[in-house]
Chain A
Amino acid sequence: MSNHPYIPNTDKDINQMLSVIGVESFEKLISDLPKHLLFPKLNIGNGLTEPELYNHLNIISKENFNLDEYSLFLGAGSYKHYIPATVNSILQRGDFATAYTPYQPEAAQGTLQSGFEFQSLVSRLMGMEVTNAGMYDGPTAFAEACLMACRITKKNKIGLVNFFNPTIIEVLKSYIAYKEIEIIEIKEPKEKIPEDLACLCIQYPNFFGSIPNLDEFVNISKSSDCLSIVHTNPISLGFLKSPGEYGVDIVTAEGQPLGVPISYGGPYIGLFSCNQTHIRQMPGRIIGQTTDIDGKIAYTLTLQTREQHIRRERATSNICTSTQLIGLMVTIYLATLGPDGIKDVGNLCYQKSHYLANSLRNIKGVIIENKNEFFNEFVFSTPLRPSFLNEKLLQKKIIGGLDISNIINNGILICCTEMNTKQQIDSLVSSIQEILNDNE
């Protein structure tokens, strides 16, 4: 029989190996398996050669709209930003991509040192003392932060200040299911805060893109004797003051905007930062600097006694990944942009989204719903149903914003990044104008 390219043993090899093992057939090796259930029919079809595979998947991929032909104004947790060529060039290296978790530090200094760089650069961006090596994604990082606050304070109420992305709240609910933890929604931070909260949480910028007053938020958390948790969009932090500068206790974020493709929602990475005092309650992997026996600087996984492989059911979390390769993308992205680049990208997002908002304001019937300052996203409404408006825009090769009419009447959450050109924005505005005129 001829070999599959991924399986090198020839029939001759197999026969030799079986004879060394001392069995006449492969079946002898699996005699513990119930015989009557062996070799079930597998309805997977024949294997494909590489060219066939390429064609097959190329066809499937083209059943998706090609975004190169569309302009995209959709955000709401996943943002299309420019990814510098340095990121993918390094990512292609099998030495990073095909390594395992660095349990043997002597043979994994590349992964470990670049992970240490990730912790360093993300800490700087957040303005926080410590960052772990990475979580699954933004919403799960936030949910774990709430659980961490409950562990630290030994309290079980989580206060969510409006307005959070509803998906984040849904994920949090799955994470606290069957635990005696309660979520309390707080409309205004100024309203009376319930007693014995474990943490007060806010999204910054919030779901509607508005920038909440973190000074006030942190003061209220402090006076309520609970921890403060901020869930942020990291691309905003070259532009907006960092959560750390306000004295926040735990910061989480969806790391995707920092150099990771939108890729239909994953793989992304959760960012998780806190202050040194709380590191022993932190979930996830942490890389630390040490020396080898000759005194040479080296890096290793550390504080592992928090984790599931040692503490089992008493671990800080069941997570056993750091989404390391996506963390590498974030690291290279931040290193490539540098301080000026991260400021520029934030400013470009701000400029373009405000240009869009100010252009939309001039259209009769369009209302900008945000009352506060916003960053790269905002909510507008028109007399038309969002689904109808988006449908019409799609015909004009524009992917409009997110339909949030379930929250705000005819509301659309719309986003601009540095990728949206003035021409795209102008064309979106004139298209909306046109559609409104046609349907008056």
Chain B
Amino acid sequence: MYSSEMKYSKEHEWISVNKNIITIGITDFAQESLGDVVFIDLPKIGTSISQFKKFGEIESVKAVSELFAPISGKVIEINSEIENSPEIINQSPHEKGWMIKVESSNLDEVNKLLTKEEYMKII
């Protein structure tokens, strides 16, 4: 499930990079520890987010966690399907359960994230 193409953050988000467009989601480990996701609060399109700062919230039945941006940039797309059916995050965290796409302002930030091997060590 964990792809070497992706990079990971210590706060359990993954990113995949396509030129300067970055897709962000939470890892399988994160969805597993949260349990059934019931609600997600994502930023609006056009919002700027900054690396390692809060950009949203995710809720399970009895827990709420903050989402931290693995990278800075402007939000250009959000996954509206997971807003209506948050269970997709549990079913397919690394694919259908992606959260937002951002236009990166500084691709060097990607280097501050973990590789698959580094991430596997911390979970």
Chain A residues within CB distance 8 Å of chain B: 280, 304-305, 310-311
A-chain residues with CB within 8 Å of residue B59 when the two chains form the complex: 305
Complex Cα distance A310/B65, Å?
Answer: 10
A305-B60, A305-B62 known; 7 new pairs, CB 8 Å cut-off, are A304-B61, A304-B62, A305-B61, A305-B63, A310-B62, A310-B64, A311-B64
B39-A280 in contact (CB<8A): yes
Interface centre among A304, A305, A311 (most CB of B within 10 A): A305
* Count of chain B residues near A, Cβ 8 A: 8
B-chain residues with CB within 8 Å of residue A311 when the two chains form the complex: 64
Least Cβ distance of B105 to chain A in Å?
26
Complex Cα distance A304/B38, Å?
Answer: 11
The 8 A-B residue pairs with the shortest CB-CB distance, nearest first, are A305-B64, A305-B59, A311-B64, A310-B64, A310-B62, A304-B62, A310-B63, A305-B63
Can you offer 15 A-B residue contacts whose CB atoms are under 8 A?
A280-B39, A304-B61, A304-B62, A305-B38, A305-B39, A305-B59, A305-B60, A305-B61, A305-B62, A305-B63, A305-B64, A310-B62, A310-B63, A310-B64, A311-B64
Complex Cα distance A311/B57, Å?
Answer: 12
Which residues in chain B, 46-75, are within 8 Å of chain A measured between CB atoms? 59-64
B-chain residues with CB within 8 Å of residue A305 when the two chains form the complex: 38-39, 59-64
B-chain residues with CB within 8 Å of residue A304 when the two chains form the complex: 61-62
Complex Cα distance A187/B73, Å?
Answer: 48
B-chain residues with CB within 8 Å of residue A280 when the two chains form the complex: 39
Complex Cα distance A305/B62, Å?
Answer: 6
Complex Cα distance A220/B62, Å?
Answer: 39
Complex Cα distance A305/B59, Å?
Answer: 7
Least Cβ distance of B55 to chain A in Å?
16
Least Cβ distance of A276 to chain B in Å?
14
Which residues in chain B, 23-61, are within 8 Å of chain A measured between CB atoms? 38-39, 59-61
Least Cβ distance of B86 to chain A in Å?
12
A-chain residues with CB within 8 Å of residue B39 when the two chains form the complex: 280, 305
Least Cβ distance of B111 to chain A in Å?
32
Question: Which chain B residue lies CB-closest to A302?
Answer: B61
A-chain residues with CB within 8 Å of residue B38 when the two chains form the complex: 305
A-chain residues with CB within 8 Å of residue B61 when the two chains form the complex: 304-305
Complex Cα distance A304/B60, Å?
Answer: 10
Question: Which chain A residue lies CB-closest to B66?
Answer: A314
Complex Cα distance A311/B66, Å?
Answer: 11
Complex Cα distance A310/B34, Å?
Answer: 13
Least Cβ distance of B47 to chain A in Å?
14
A-chain residues with CB within 8 Å of residue B60 when the two chains form the complex: 305
Least Cβ distance of A282 to chain B in Å?
14
Least Cβ distance of B56 to chain A in Å?
13
A-chain residues with CB within 8 Å of residue B64 when the two chains form the complex: 305, 310-311
Least Cβ distance of A258 to chain B in Å?
32
Complex Cα distance A311/B63, Å?
Answer: 8
Complex Cα distance A104/B60, Å?
Answer: 18
Least Cβ distance of B66 to chain A in Å?
10
Least Cβ distance of A268 to chain B in Å?
30
B-chain residues with CB within 8 Å of residue A310 when the two chains form the complex: 62-64
A-chain residues with CB within 8 Å of residue B63 when the two chains form the complex: 305, 310
Least Cβ distance of B57 to chain A in Å?
9
Complex Cα distance A304/B39, Å?
Answer: 12
Complex Cα distance A310/B38, Å?
Answer: 15
Least Cβ distance of B18 to chain A in Å?
33
Least Cβ distance of A95 to chain B in Å?
27
Least Cβ distance of B46 to chain A in Å?
17
Complex Cα distance A280/B39, Å?
Answer: 10
Question: Which chain B residue lies CB-closest to A315?
Answer: B64
Question: Which chain A residue lies CB-closest to B38?
Answer: A305
Least Cβ distance of B63 to chain A in Å?
7
Least Cβ distance of B51 to chain A in Å?
22
Least Cβ distance of B65 to chain A in Å?
10
Complex Cα distance A311/B59, Å?
Answer: 11
Complex Cα distance A310/B35, Å?
Answer: 15
Question: Which chain A residue lies CB-closest to B61?
Answer: A304
Least Cβ distance of A304 to chain B in Å?
6
Complex Cα distance A304/B59, Å?
Answer: 10
Complex Cα distance A305/B63, Å?
Answer: 6
Question: Which chain B residue lies CB-closest to A312?
Answer: B64
Complex Cα distance A305/B64, Å?
Answer: 6
Complex Cα distance A304/B62, Å?
Answer: 7
Least Cβ distance of B103 to chain A in Å?
26
Complex Cα distance A305/B39, Å?
Answer: 10
Complex Cα distance A311/B41, Å?
Answer: 15
Complex Cα distance A51/B60, Å?
Answer: 53
Complex Cα distance A280/B64, Å?
Answer: 13
Least Cβ distance of A310 to chain B in Å?
6
Interface centre among B38, B39, B60, B61 (most CB of A within 10 A): B61
Least Cβ distance of A172 to chain B in Å?
28
Complex Cα distance A43/B43, Å?
Answer: 60
Question: Which chain A residue lies CB-closest to B58?
Answer: A305
Complex Cα distance A323/B60, Å?
Answer: 26
